[in-house]
Structure 1
Amino acid sequence: MAETDPKSVQDLTAMVQTLLQQMQDKFQTICRIDDLEKNIADLMTQAGVEELEGENKTPASNKG
Structure 2
Amino acid sequence: MMADCDPQTPKNLSEFVEIVFKRLQDKYEAMSNELISKMEDMGARIDDLDRDVADLMLQAGIEEYDTDLEKTKRERKDKNKKEKKQNKNSCYGSLKESSFDDRKNSS
- The bucket for the TM-score relative to the shorter chain is 0.7 to 0.9
- Corresponding residue for residue 45 of structure 2: 42
Larger radius of gyration between Structure 1 and Structure 2:
1
- Corresponding residue for residue 55 of structure 1: 58
User: Unpaired runs of 5+ in structure 1?
Assistant: none
Q: TM-score, normalised by structure 2?
A: 0.49
Distance 2:17 2:42 in 1: 37
Evaluate the alpha carbon distance shift between residue 51 and residue 11 of structure 1 in structure 2; reply closer, same or farther with a 3 A threshold: same
Give the fraction of aligned pairs with identical amino acids, expressed as a percent.
Answer: 7
Q: TM-score, normalised by structure 1?
A: 0.81
User: Unpaired runs of 5+ in structure 2?
Assistant: 1-7, 64-107
Moved over 2 A (4+): none
Larger relative contact order, structure 1 or 2 (CA cutoff 8 Å, min sep 6): 2
Q: Deviations over 1:21-47 (max 9, x none)?
A: 011100000000110011001000000
Distance 2:21 2:62 in 1: 62
State the aligned residue count: 56
